[in-house]
Amino acid sequence: MTRKSINAAVSAFALAAMGFGPAHAADPGATGDTIRIAMLEWTGAQITSQVVGRVLEKAGYKVEYVTAGNYPHFQGLADGEIAVSPEIWLNNVGDIYPKALEAGQIEDLGTLGLQTNEGWIYPKFMEELCPALPSWEALNDPDCVAQLATPDTLPNGRFLDYPSDWGSRAATIIADNNLPLTAVPSGSEGAMLAELRAAEAAKTPLVMMFWAPHFILAEVEVGWIEMPPCVDQSNEHCIMPPDVNKVVWSGFAEKWPAAHEVLKSFRLSTEDQQQMMLAIEQGQSLEAVADGWIAANEAAWRPWVDAALQ
């Protein structure tokens, strides 16, 4: 038995065990037509796109990477101008995504497999200023809050929130727990990163809303605040790790059936993505890093391809 067929057997078994049923070969479909993959603005999504693209190439497809803005690209997905967007953070999709999903213009292919995290972070040096950290109780300590206060928020401490257009629960949670903080919307991701870097460099206190995996976490050492108990488990009052899913154009399954199967089984782990982010941060090119993943992880992607094609 060749290694390939062992892999195929293992993957068939694995898929059966996971409840997918026996692997059935799918028609490759229009392999002559290029599959256009969205490359969104952040490093993590670009890595995922490049890796997905390479796996699809291994399955015999032609791919093209299209740079795209997060909100505008949903229109492209809905029209089929973009075929796949492999890393969509469901906590940051505005109203565009549910609208398109409801209209049947896009199809959600389920989780990408990233272990995500979301919550309140602070640069690690703050544990000296507010000894009660990482407990949320630290934010009730007047000494700690006084260090966070700015002219805009006096007498409260300043809490850096997500941009207004992302929607955020921080203000609600602050109110739920009567914390002496004022949530200030940050305007953009770049603004949040700039503040975090500056806070670390100048050792100025900062508490902000953030998420993981993110490349900045390899650069700045942060702590995650242990959150107060939620008033109720709704999305309004409670922060839960966001889902990150793969989304395709609704006509994808019909045009490229086998690629559809590959995408359904595609997973990328947080550790792998973070390692690749770090490599890029250290000066490697995106393409080289993605090639490296493909070379090192054949055992992971070969079964997806084989199961779809054989």
Partner 1 sequence: MTLPRLTRAEMLWVLLLAASVLLAALAHVFPVLRGFPAGLTLPLADWANAVLTPLVEALRPLGRLVSAAVEGPLEAIRAALAWLPWPATVLLVAALALQAGGRGLAVFAAAALGLVVAMGYWPKAMNTLALVLISVPLAVGIGFALGALAHRFPKLQPALVVLLDVMQTWPAFGYLIPLLLLFGFGPTAGLAASVVFSIPPMVRNTLVGLRGVPPAIVESALMAGATPAQLFWQARVPSALPQLLVGVNQTTMASLSMVIIIAIIGGFDDIGWEVLSAMRAAELGRSLGAGLVIVLIAVLLDRITRGFAARGRRTGRRVLWIGAAAALVLAVALAGQDLLPGDAGQRSLRRLDGWLLDFVAWSAPFFGLLRNAITYGVMLPMRLGFSGSASPMVWGFALTPAIIAAYALASLALALWLGRRRPMRGIAFGFAALLVWTGLPGFPWPGVFALAGVACWRAGGPGLCALALAGLALAGVSGLWAPMMQSIYLCAVAVLISFALGGALGVLAAESDRFSALLRPVSDALQTMPQFVFLIPALMLFKVGEFTALIAIVLYAVVPPIRYVEHGLRSVRADLVEAAVQMGATPRQMLWQVKLPLARPSVRLGLNQTIMAALSMLVIAALVGTRELGQQVYVALSKADAGAGMIAGGIIACIALVADRLLRTPGEAPGRTD
Q: In this chain, which of 58, 99, 237, 267 binds partner 1, going by CB under 8 A? A: 99
Q: In this chain, which of 168, 204, 269, 270 binds partner 1, going by CB under 8 A? A: 204
Yes or no: say if 96 and 71 are a contact pair by the CB < 8 Å rule. Answer: yes
Residue 37 backbone dihedrals phi, psi, to 5 degrees: -110, 130
Q: 29-40 burial, b if ≥16 CB within 10 A, otherwise e?
A: beeeeebbbbbb
For partner 1, give the closer residue by CB, 135 or 156: 156
- What is the end-to-end Cα distance of the chain in Å, rounded? 16
Q: Is 55 exposed, middle or buried (0-12, 13-18, 19+ CB in 10 A)?
A: buried
Task: State the nearest-atom distance from the C-beta of 67 to partner 1, in Å.
Answer: 4
Q: In this chain, which of 5, 34, 115, 164 binds partner 1, going by CB under 8 A? A: 164
- The site map against partner 1 for 113-152 (x = CB under 8 A) is -------------------------------------xxx
Q: In this chain, which of 127, 195, 291, 298 binds partner 1, going by CB under 8 A? A: 195
For partner 1, give the closer residue by CB, 56 or 82: 82
Yes or no: say if 11 and 40 are a contact pair by the CB < 8 Å rule. Answer: no
For partner 1, give the closer residue by CB, 16 or 103: 103
- Dist CA 185 CA 123 (whole Å): 19
Write the DSSP symbol of residue 226.
Answer: B
SS3 141: coil
Task: State the nearest-atom distance from the C-beta of 248 to partner 1, in Å.
Answer: 15
SS3 126: helix
Within positions 31 to 70, which residues make up the interface with partner 1, using CB under 8 A? 39, 41-43, 66-69
Contact status: 154 vs partner 1 (CB under 8 A): yes
Binding residues vs partner 1 (CB under 8 A): 39, 41-43, 66-69, 71-77, 79, 81-82, 94-96, 99, 150-152, 154-155, 160, 163-167, 184-195, 197-198, 201-204, 215, 283, 285
